[in-house]
Structure 1
Amino acid sequence: MPRISAAQRRSDFIKAAVEVIATYGIEGATTRRIAEQAQANLAMLHYCYDSKEDLFADVYEFVAGRYRDALEGDDSPGDVRETARRLLRGVMECYLESASFTAATVELISWARRQHGDRGIAVYDKALETVRAALRDAESDHPIAPEVIDEIAFVLATLADGFAANWLTYGDRTAALGQMEIATSVLDSWLAARLGATPVGR
C-alpha cells in the first residue's frame, strides 16, 4: 500500500474539518472527530498540525481559496453587467455544490471574528476586492465610478449571502436552483436601474 504524504494528509484533514465543523460547529469540532472523519489516527493529525488552531488556519485559507476560485473561475470577457452576473452565479454555485462548505464558512467567519477580530473580516475583504477587480477590468464603453463599483460589489455580496442563508436553512436543492434565478433577476433589474441599461438576458 503506497504511503500517503504529509501534504495529502493535511488536505484530508482540512476537508474532514469542513465536514465536522458543518455538522458540530466550531466548539464541537474536536481533533478526534476530525481524525475519524479523515479516516486517520489522532497521532497522524497531531503530526501534521501542532494545534487545532493551526488546522483551522489552513481550513480558513481553504475557504478563502474556494471563494477565489469561484470568483476567478470564468475569466471570459464581458461588460460590467455580464461580469457581475457571472460573479454572483459563481458564488451561488459554490454554495450549492456543498452545503457543508457553506455551513462551515459561516461558522469559521463567526469564530474568526470572535477569536481574532479583523481576521473574520479578511475573508469578506479578500472576496470583495476580487469582485471589485473583476468589475474594474470588465469591458465598458464608459468608465464606471469607484463608488458604483463598490455598490455593485455590495449588492452581489448581499444577494449571495441571502442565497446561502436560505440554502442552509431549507436544504432544498430544487428550490435553491429557482432562487438562483430569482437572485440573478434581481441583480439584472438593479443593474439596469443603476446603470441605465437593458437588463442582461432581456
Structure 2
Amino acid sequence: MARIPAAQRRNDFIHAAVEVIAAHGIDGATTRKIAEQANANLAMLHYCYDSKEALFSDVFAYAATTYSDVIRKSDAHSTLAETAREILRGVMQYYVDSPSFAAASFELISWARRQHEDRGIAVFDEAVASVRRALTDASASNPVQPETIDEIAYVIGTLSDGFGVNWLTYGDRAAAEAQIDVTTTVFDTWLATRLAPLPAAS
C-alpha cells in the first residue's frame, strides 16, 4: 500500500475535524473520533499534530480560506449591486451544499470567542474583509463611500448567517432553496434603496 504523504494526512484530518465538530460540537470532537472519521489511527494523527489545539488552528485557517474562496467564486465582477447579490447568494448556497462546514464554522467561532477571543474574531474578520474587497473592486467605476461598503458587507453577513442558522435548525433543503430567493429579494430591495441617489436639493 502506498504511503500517504503527511500533508495529505493533515488535510484529511482537517476535513475529518470539520465533520466531527459539526456532529458532536467542540467538546465532543476528540482526537480519537477525528482519527476514526479520517480512517486513520490515533498515532498518525498525533504524528501530524502534537496537540488538538494545533489541529484546530489549521481548521480555523481552512474555514477562513473557504469563506474567501466562496466569496471570490461568487464575485460577479460586475456592478456593485450585482456583485453584492451574488456574494450573498453564493454564501447561502454554500451553506446548503455544505451543512457540515456551516455547522462547524458557527461552532468554532462561538467556541473561539469563549476560549481565544482573537482567533474567533479573525475568522469572521477575514470573511468580512473578503466581501469588502470584492465590493470595493465592483464599485471602482462608480465609487461609493467606505461606510456604504461596510454597511453592505454587514447586511450580507447578517442575512447569510441568519439563513445558515435557520437551515441548520430545520434541515429542509427544499425550503432553504426557496428561502435563498426570498432572502435575496429582501436584500435587493434594501440595496436598491441604499444605493439610490439622494434627491437634488431644492
* TM-score higher than 0.5: yes
**Aligned partners of 2:179 and 2:9: how far apart in 1?**
37
Identical pairs, percent: 63
CA distance in 1, matches of 2:11, 2:82: 34
Figure out how many residues of one structure are paired with residues of the other and give that number: 197
Distance 1:152 1:76 in 2: 15
User: Partners of 2:153 and 2:126 in 1: how far apart?
Assistant: 12
C-alpha distance in structure 2 between counterparts of 1:70 and 1:172, whole Å: 22
State the alpha-carbon separation in 2 of the partners of residues 95 and 74 from structure 1: 13
Moved over 6 A (4+): none
Query: Which segment is superposed worse, 122-131 or 45-54?
Result: 122-131
Which residue matches 2:77?
77
Root-mean-square deviation (Å): 1.2
2:75·2:87 contact (CA, 8 Å) conserved in 1? no
How far did residue 96 of structure 1 move? 1.0
The answer to whether the 8 A contact 1:79-1:140 is kept is no
The DSSP-based 3-state class of the residue aligned with 1:73 is helix
Alpha-carbon spacing, 1:74–1:164, altered in 2? closer, same or farther (3 Å)? closer
Q: How far apart are 1:77 and its partner, in Å?
A: 2.3
TM-score, normalising length: structure 1: 0.94
Determine helix, strand or coil for the equivalent of 2:33: helix
SS at match of 2:143: coil
Question: Superposed, which structure 2 residues align to 1:175-194 within 5 Å?
Answer: 175-194=175-194
* Code of the aligned partner of 1:22: A
1:23 — aligned with what? Answer: 23
Using the alignment, how far apart are the partners of 1:104 and 1:18 within structure 2? 6
The alignment's TM-score, normalised by the length of structure 2, stands at 0.94
In 2: Cα distance, 1:35 partner to 1:139 partner: 46
Measure how far apart 1:129 and its partner are: 1.1
Runs (5+) with no aligned partner, structure 1: 198-202
Aligned residues of 1:26 and 1:108 also touching (Cα < 8 A): yes
The answer for unaligned runs of 5 or more in structure 2 is 198-202
Q: Distance in 2 between matches of 1:7 and 1:141?
A: 43
